[in-house]
Amino acid sequence: MLRKTLTVLISLFILFFSVFACSKEQTKQDNKKRSPALQDTIKVTFVELGSVNCIPCKMMQPIMDEIEKEFAGQVKVVFHDVWTEEGQPYAREYAIRVIPTQIFLDSKGKEYYRHEGFFPKEELVKILKQKGVQ
């Protein structure tokens, strides 16, 4: 009985790491498929954590749209509605305290600035320019 259990556990362990290794390899292949020029142009990922039902968050929507259009190819804009089941993991991942919260990630995905509450476009653009966005 112990031998059977041990065999099953070892098999599950091998299966888990095989799947993990394959997913890592697929990610590497996907990254290679992307155009190097496109990878180099995204300087900032602007993550907005809020809700479609919150007033200051609604005020941020047109600003996010303008940023996405004006700085296309340099800034990636991402919105997560943290009041939904799909968005809740991002609220935990970024450890937000209030909404809206804006997180700015550099080209390597490292957070370099965070703001809570409504963020006027002029001030937001200053933060983008810190990483060379023009």
Q: Which residues are catalytic?
A: 54, 57
Which residues sit opposite 79 in a β-bridge? 48
Annotate 24-61 with b (16+ C-beta within 10 A) or e (fewer): eeeeeeeeeeeeeeeeeebbbbbbbbbbeebeebeebe
User: For residue 102, with 0-12 CB atoms within 10 Å meaning exposed, 13-18 middle and 19 or more buried, which class applies?
Assistant: buried
